[in-house]
Amino acid sequence: MLDKLLELRDVGKVFPGGIVGLDAINLTIGQGEFLSLLGPSGCGKTTTLRVIAGFEAPTSGAVVLDGRDITALRPHHRPVNTVFQDYALFPHMNVRDNVEFGLAIRKMPAAERRKKVMSALEMVGLPDKAEARIAELSGGQRQRIALARAIVCEPRLLLLDEPLSALDAHLREQMQLELKRLQGELGTTFVMVTHDQTEAMSISDRIVVMNRGHIEQVASPAELYDRPASRFVASFIGTMNLMPATVTSVAEGQVFLDAAGWSLAVPAPEGSVPVAGQPVTIGIRPEDLLLAGGNGEQFLSGKASAVVFHGKSLRLRVEAGPAVALFVDVPRQGDHAAVKAGTPVSLALRPGASCPLLAA
């Protein structure tokens, strides 16, 4: 367990007109972790970041850093730096002066400032751009300079507001790896706002999934994917088939279900175990469904209504009843490549699949 760095204690934010931005959220962030705030537009992730930075004052609750209540501190009095979505670099200054700006405000001696600036530029791989003008830099280079300007002041906490959103897909993927490398080298806590779940899943230690001002779940990427805590998380993270089902029995660590006439057995969830007769919703990932050649209760019959190219795999949409449509991922090789729209198929559940049981 990481040492506690920052706490949000019952933090609420109500905007003019009674619009609730945050509804008494509680969150603990550990020292040295990479945490992402993820959710749809309007979920409260950017408001949370701005409250931590001091750009927004919470309506209620407290922001505690290193055990000290900093709720009333102005942004420039907090040991927190922010990398903004548009980078907010000064166009009239060269790269060196941009990175040096925060140190100059602190009246650090010039020789020490220059040494720290070059060290920060080395860390982001741009020491040769010290004298360049901002207009001469590419989007990726500007992003790196914004990071250098933020880390040169050695903040306790670095906040990133959708820092990669302006980059093209290839460069964005490269910079995700660079962000993770940089965070590991510095050992600084990074808190990133993003709406891109792939981005959050690929570089975060933990992810905070938010919805309508609430925190739905805080967990590692693997736990969010395999064990979502709510229907919202299940449907928001990746692709999840949600099927209504009824519990028929529970025995030997397994829950037996009837889902539209399909007999399934899944591992019993930790904590509260459902009982026979209880209606539930079962979540099934597309990769946990197999095309099978059998019939009977262990198989679900249907028809492929669409086939979509997904690189190494094909994604099928299978209609298995008036109100049952499932996505299925299959390899492109072998017999699966012959599946076309209109092809009858039978589905089976992959042995050992982790299928969460959610409230009906």
Work out the pLDDT band at 85, boundaries 50, 70, 90: confident
> Within 13 A of 19's CA, how many CA atoms are on the CB side?
8
Q: How far apart are CA 324 and CA 301, in angstroms?
A: 11
- Give the percent of the chain with pLDDT over 90: 66
pLDDT score of 1? 60
Total residue count of the chain as it appears in this document: 360
pLDDT score of 211? 96
Q: Give per-residue pLDDT as tens, 97-143.
A: 999 998 888 888 889 989 999 999 998 889 999 999 999 998 888 88
Token couple for 320: 């298995």
Q: Give per-residue pLDDT as tens, 194-252.
A: 988 999 999 999 999 999 999 999 999 999 999 999 999 999 999 999 999 999 999 98
Three-point CA angle 112, 114, 117, nearest 5°: 110
Q: Which residues pair with 8 in a beta bridge?
A: 27, 63
Q: Give per-residue pLDDT as tens, 261-301.
A: 899 999 888 888 899 999 999 999 999 999 987 777 789 99
Do the two domains 4-234 and 239-359 of this chain adopt the same fold?
no
Q: Determine whether domain 239-359 maps to CATH 3.40.50.300.
A: no
pLDDT score of 84? 85
- The domain spans of the chain are 4-234, 239-359
What value does the mean pLDDT take over residues 337-355?
89
Distance of CA 46 to the CA centre of its chain: 13
The rounded mean pLDDT for the chain is 91
Neighbours of 31 (CB within 10 A): 15
Q: Determine whether domain 4-234 maps to CATH 3.60.40.10.
A: no
